[in-house]
Amino acid sequence: MTFAHGFEPTSLREYDIRGIVGKTLHPRDAYAIGRVFGSVVARQGGRTVAVGYDGRLSSPELEAALVDGAVASGVEVLRIGRGPTPMLYFASATLKADGAIMVTGSHNPPDHNGFKMLLAGQPFFGPHIRELGESAARGDVVPEAAGSVRDVDIRQAYVARLAQDWDGGARRLKIVWDNGNGAAGEVLAELVRQIPGEHTILNGAIDGRFPAHHPDPTIPRNLAQLIAAVRDTDADIGIAFDGDADRIGVVDDQGEILWSDQLLVLLARDVLRALPGSTIIADVKASQILFDEVGRAGGRPLMWRSGHSPIKSRMAETGAPLAGEMSGHVFFADRWFGFDDALYAAVRLLGIVARMDTTLSAAREALPIMVSTPELRFDCPDARKFAVIEEVAARLAEEGADMVTIDGVRVNSADGWWLLRASNTQAMLVARVESAGHEGLERLKAALTAQLARSGVTAPDFSGEGH
């Protein structure tokens, strides 16, 4: 049977394939992904593809079509069922699968869904995704063959491995978890039975409608329920996950948000005690405080591009034992596998807190205080967004500015820094500004606004501050 398939162009993203179900993403797209990706695996001499899916209402149908496409390419599908994305990554690593695909809409609205992929254990992104789309359009696949399907129950092994790295002290913590009705629900229920502490789980039932709140723990309003529960129960810590549990949100004992770069400081100090001198990676949106504190703790801070796939690739290249980004992805490669796993990050963080002789809020308050904007995302046409970055970078280079250009433009000055980058997944620009004081912050905002104006772009609304 002749095969050829055209994807909705907007669904082929930098890091994954993603769309609105019934509008830009359909079961026939899932079949095509399975058919082409299975062909890629087969042509590389591979035989197995692990497949999992999250708790969204559309995921079972998309997963079934995906499996059919992969089987038609002659591979064996290792079907691990419903669960968080990192469980699929764990299956890929421990089952030594040649490829892996997760059906997940991550932290997006309920009517969205998508696919995250690994090939030979490495992220499948950027040019690989573009090539997949081109291969589908040409019908460039291996001849149809009868593959096979094997159901693999990996959950117990995954939970046991998560719990294995618990390294807390004698202190018994009171912990509130917010699963956000996401795909980690069943895994989390088992995990809390295997690690010490007094555990309360909010929104534990997997429900793809996300009735409690949107499943993105990096947005403060989505943490309101967790914050209230931590304060009401005098808990030591609150932990939240996104829809597929590869991103973490943390609230301290006072109900204050511990931002991702602050979290990474605590994790880095702990890793560096065991592995002094190691490289610790963070993305360009992270606070300068993080990079300074990593250096102070005896590590080598490395700033890198935003995005879980570039971060994972850079970790593999540098041998870094830890990395993180402002979007809540945390990657351990010291005792773990190097992929982003919010459940694993939670276990490691809880161990650190249980060994502390102080509270988590005291550790947060001991960090240097900076003032900053939140991550500001504002509209800019796809055809224009990268050109704006190039224009700004060129002008700043002529002016002799101190800047980093690995991902957009991050400009350093005596007042602090500002960042302008193009979103890889949306028709938007992204900005962030940080300073030691409010006056410096205003000067940095003015500098950023002036550069945007010179490229004909209106500055974002700077109201509200980050941390």
The model's pLDDT over 156-169, given as tens digits with 9 standing for 90+, comes to: 999 999 999 999 98
Predicted pLDDT of residue 175: 98
Give me the half-sphere count of Cα atoms (radius 13 Å) on the Cβ side of residue 340. Answer: 29
pLDDT tens, 5-17?
999 999 999 889 9
Q: Rounded distance, CA 143 to CA 210, Å?
A: 41
The predicted structure's pLDDT at residue 350:
98
DSSP code of residue 231: H
Residues 87 and 210: their CA atoms lie apart, in Å, by 20
For residue 463, pLDDT over 80 is answered with no
Domains and CATH numbers, the chain: 9-154 (3.40.120.10), 173-365 (3.40.120.10), 371-454 (3.30.310.50)
Instruction: Give pTM, 2 decimals.
Output: 0.95
Tell me what the mean pLDDT of segment 175-190 comes to.
98
pLDDT number for residue 425: 73
pLDDT for residue 149 = 98
Buried b (16+ CB within 10 A) or exposed e, 112-133: bbbbbbbbebebbbbeebeebb
Q: Would you say 42 and 144 are in contact if contact means Cβ atoms under 8 Å apart?
A: no
For residue 65, what is the enclosing H or E element? helix 59-71
Residue of 87 and 425 predicted with greater confidence: 87
Structural tokens at position 131: 């090539």
Higher pLDDT, 461 or 295: 295
Rounded (10°) CA dihedral 235, 259, 313, 419: 170
Query: pLDDT exceeding 70 applies to what percent of the chain?
Result: 99
pLDDT over threshold 70, residue 402: yes
pLDDT tens-place string over residues 296-306:
999 999 999 99
What is the pLDDT averaged over residues 338-351? 98
106 catalytic? Reply is yes
Q: What is the pLDDT of residue 462?
A: 82
CA dist 17 and 24 (Å) reads 11
As a whole number of angstroms, the distance between CA 458 and CA 74 comes to 52
| pLDDT score of 427 | 85
Selected residue with higher pLDDT from 378 and 463: 378
Mean pLDDT of 448-460: 95
Averaged pLDDT score across all residues of the chain:
96
pLDDT of residue 467: 53
> Residue 466's pLDDT is what?
52
Report pLDDT for 383.
Answer: 86
Query: Confidence band (pLDDT; 50, 70, 90) for 170?
Result: confident
pLDDT of residue 17: 96
Does residue 465 carry a pLDDT above 80?
Answer: no
What is the rounded average pLDDT of the residues 423-436? Answer: 90
Q: Which residues contact 264 (CB under 8 A, 6 or more apart)?
A: 280, 282, 286, 290, 322, 324, 330
pLDDT digits (tens, 9 = 90+) for 35-68: 999 999 999 999 999 999 999 999 999 999 999 9
Please identify which of the residues 106, 135, 306, 309 carries the catalytic annotation: 106
Mean pLDDT of 362-382: 92
**Phi and psi based region of residue 127 (left: phi greater than 0; alpha: psi -120 to 50; beta: remaining):** alpha
310-329 pLDDT per residue, tens:
999 899 999 999 999 999 99
pLDDT of residue 464: 53
Question: What does the pLDDT read at residue 277?
Answer: 98
Helix ranges (H only) for 258-341 are 260-274, 288-296, 308-318
In percent, how much of the chain has pLDDT > 90? 92
465/62: higher pLDDT? 62
